[in-house]
Amino acid sequence: MDTKLSHAITYAQQGYRLLPVKPNSKVPFLKEWTKKATRDPAILEDYWRQYPQANIGLATGEDSGCFVLDVDVKKDAPGEQSLEELESEYGVLPETLKAKTPTGGFHYFFRHPGGRLGNRANFRPGLDIRGDGGYVLVAPSIVEGKAYGWLNEGTPLAEAPDWLLELLHEGPKPTVPGDGPRRGKASCAP
């Protein structure tokens, strides 16, 4: 069995909905991926038969039971610093499933709290949320020649701390000059 397919089926057996993503990218093969992401092994086999080199997208949100805190460290994304500041003010994140991204960032996987929890880009500098209607790539997906990898595979998903959920439901944080919203194409992928 193809390695990525076997990983996708394992993730599906854990209750996650998956989708095929174009190789070496974060772009889904499926136009209506939010409706077509699945945990059905037969459908996953069909997807990977059609797209054998596909990366694995894990649909976040209530139906998969998770959301992801995406800590970016590339370019002008000081995600680690922002997370350190939040943890210093509110307390450290609980131990939860964690992945390393190809750019050196991190994905923290938390149990979905129920209700609507959408995606939030840059809710703090370098910190994004992938919730309902979002997805992230998971191991062993590869982008720009580098793989996603689990740092603590098998660790159960923790409940997000109340402070994090409260921050996600507040309005946007005021910006400083030159730190305005970014223009251009947006993506739900990490």
pTM: 0.87
Q: Which of 46, 56, 49 is nearest to 22 (CA)?
A: 56
Q: List pLDDT tens digits, range 18-73.
A: 999 999 999 999 999 999 999 999 999 999 999 999 999 999 999 999 999 999 99
Peptide bond before 140: cis, by omega within 30 degrees of 0? Answer: yes
Domain annotation covers residue 183:
no
Q: List pLDDT tens digits, range 56-68.
A: 999 999 999 999 9
d(CA 59, CA 27): 13
Q: Which of 133, 59, 56, 146 is nearest to 101 (CA)?
A: 146
CATH number assigned to the domain comprising residue 28: 3.30.2250
Structural domain for 132, as ranges: 3-169
Domain annotation covers residue 187:
no
Domain annotation covers residue 124:
yes
Q: What angle do CA 167, 100, 113 make, to 5 degrees?
A: 35
Domain annotation covers residue 143:
yes
Domain annotation covers residue 158:
yes
Counting the structural domains of the chain, the total is 1
CB 171 within 8 A of CB 122: no
Domain annotation covers residue 144:
yes
